Amino acid sequence: MPYYSGEERLPDEVVRRVLVVMAHPDDADFVAAGSVARWAREGAECVYLLCTDGNKGSDDPAMTPERLGPIRRAEQRAAVARLGGRDAWFLGFEDGLLEPTIALRRAITEQICRFRPDVLVAQDPTMRWSGSEYINHPDHRAAGEAALAAVFPSARNRLIFPDLFTAGLEPHAVGAIYLAASEQADTWIDISETMDQKLAALAEHRSQFTLAEVEPFVREWGAANGRQIGVRYAEGFKVLRPR
């Protein structure tokens, strides 16, 4: 799988398992789905781990969180299937009120130590806004903060959550963290061949938007990232490889 930093092709890394940790259903499909589809095509097992089920994501006065939760879970599972991913797992924290608590960090740590990903894709916890019109959702920052803390130090150290490790799990060192949609992106993945799968995944989130509403923006953003490395479409990431 080719990765690029500017014009330079980076060395391939072995990616057998990818865990995509996000606050809400649909988040990853905007920022990382093309890359997930590529990892899946190249044989990696890809799982989404959602901190919430996004059950507050409606302006319809007739909708309730109790009805919306199962709809959004099903939409996210269908989207992951479009990408060739294995599944979407849900941690069940409350949508709209997510905080980077120790409970959230522990829950992510447990899944890291079970699934043992080589790559973990997360939201950038440092991003508070972008441009003049986009305020980053506080749940996104919370999910990113907890995911980073889970990778380092919690999943590597058996003394922080000792009960996880007495129950049969072993610590796990994640090889690389890919922070999606980061303004400090330093690595781009060519998604020209998987843009159609990304759009198909986005189309599954019918409770949130129609594909026609988001496709122009998604293509524009993908093309802007693509220009960074001279391809039609790309997704950008800030990559951390903790030692």
* Residues binding Zn ion (CB under 5 A): 24, 27
Nearest CB to Zn ion, comparing residues 57 and 226: 57
Euclidean distance between CA atoms 123 and 88, whole angstroms:
17
Gyration radius from the chain CA atoms: 17
| Cβ nearer to Zn ion, comparing 53 with 110 | 53
| Residue 88 phi, psi (nearest 5) | -120, 130
**In the complex with Zn ion, which residue's Cβ is closer, 27 or 124?**
27
**Nearest CB to Zn ion, comparing residues 5 and 136:** 136
Minimum CB separation from Zn ion for residue 69, in Å? 15
* Least CB distance to Zn ion at residue 168 (A): 33
Q: For residue 105, give the nearest of 86, 91, 119, 124 by alpha carbon.
A: 91
Give the nearest distance from C-beta 140 to Zn ion in angstroms: 6
The smaller minimum CB distance to Zn ion, of residues 17 and 24, is found at 24
CB of residue 31 to Zn ion, shortest distance in Å: 10
Burial class of 56 by CB neighbour count within 10 A (0 to 12, 13 to 18, 19+): middle
Residues 6+ apart with CB under 8 A from 213: none
- Least CB distance to Zn ion at residue 24 (A): 4
Nearer to Zn ion, 98 or 160 (CB): 98
CB 202, min distance to Zn ion, A: 13
Q: How many CA atoms lie within 13 A of 91 on its CB side?
A: 28
Q: Which residue is nearest to Zn ion (CB)?
A: 24
Could you tell me the CA-to-CA distances from 85 to 25, 200, 236 in Å, in that order? 14, 13, 20
Alpha-carbon separation of residue 126 from 28, 146, 197, 237 (angstroms): 17, 12, 29, 13
